[in-house]
Structure 1
Amino acid sequence: MDLSLLALPSDTWTRSAACLGLPPEAVFARRPAEAAPALTACARCPVARQCEQTVAPASSWFDGVCAGRLWHNGRAVALTRRPRRRAAT
């Protein structure tokens, strides 16, 4: 990732990003549990499309959360949900 993206002027689309203010450990996490706050923010983010276009995770070997997905080395990670336990009857 181009680290200059972190120093964008405050009047850009990044000012509207739902992840603004989250710790870098969440945004650049490699594990789903650590990335959960950023993934949750992405779900309601009004600028997710601009984020994905700017970061270009698939072509920049990005690690972290971008546009609602967790990325490792530029590949989207399939997030699996744990099966729900059935209530005892």
Structure 2
Amino acid sequence: MTQQTPLIPRPAPEFPDWRERARCADLPVAAVFSRTATEARPVLRACNACPVIETCLRTVDPANTWFDGVCGGRLWSNGREVPLS
């Protein structure tokens, strides 16, 4: 008999997970977790009109988690905001 991995419960359809509403949800993962402004540009543009930008910042907490990638309309590397030129 094989052991099955338990399924992770999904949010009810009437209460979708905030990540499903994020403008970056359909963008390539490599762009979301990019460390360069050039690769991250499409995600940074998506953040401008994102309805969950504040939730993203609060949840990811990039400055305190050594985050790499785009969060809250900013590019982060090792938890520090990367200046965009």
**Per the shorter chain, which TM-score range?**
0.7 to 0.9
Alpha-carbon distance in 2 for matches of 1:9, 1:21:
18
Tell me the percent identity. 51
1:27 has 2:32 as partner: yes
Alignment of 1:16-55 (within 5 A): 16-55=21-60
Give the TM-score normalised by the residue count of structure 1: 0.77
**Which runs of no fewer than 5 residues in structure 1 stay unpaired?**
1-6, 81-89
For the residues of structure 1 that align with 2:46 and 2:80, how far apart are their CA atoms? 20
Q: Which runs of 5+ in 2 are unaligned?
A: 1-7
Aligned residues, how many? 74
The RMSD of aligned alpha carbons is: 1.6
Shift of 1:8: 8.6
TM superposition outliers: structure 1 runs of 4+ over 4 Å: none
Partner of 2:3: none
SS in 2 for 1:58: helix
SS of 2:62 mapped into structure 1: coil
